[in-house]
């Protein structure tokens, strides 16, 4: 296996496990906390907002690492 293939494999596994963790730890409890459909949909939308913020923080952290890698 080449280094590029290993990198792609690690990235794919991290993505799959990250989405599974999001669904298991955030989305399922938010969905099961409510009984009405509109409340469940609202909780899902807000959970997706939380996912977007978590992804943005991860991208910002990765960008900071790349930016400061040579400078430290």
As a whole number of angstroms, the distance between CA 53 and CA 4 comes to 28
pLDDT of residue 60: 97
Q: With bands split at pLDDT 50, 70 and 90, how would you rate the model's confidence at 50? A: confident
**Average pLDDT in the 10-32 region?**
93
- Report the number of distinct structural domains present in the chain: 1
Please state whether the predicted TM-score (pTM) of the whole model is above 0.85: no
As a whole number of angstroms, the distance between CA 26 and CA 72 comes to 36
As a whole number of angstroms, the distance between CA 41 and CA 33 comes to 11
């Amino acid at each position: 296996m080449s280094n590029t293939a290993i990198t792609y494999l690690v990235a794919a596994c991290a993505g799959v496990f990250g989405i599974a963790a999001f669904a298991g730890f955030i989305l399922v409890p938010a969905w099961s906390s409510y009984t009405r459909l509109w409340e469940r949909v609202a909780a899902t939308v807000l959970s997706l907002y939380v996912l977007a913020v978590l992804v943005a923080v991860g991208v910002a952290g990765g960008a900071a690492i790349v930016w400061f890698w040579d400078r430290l």
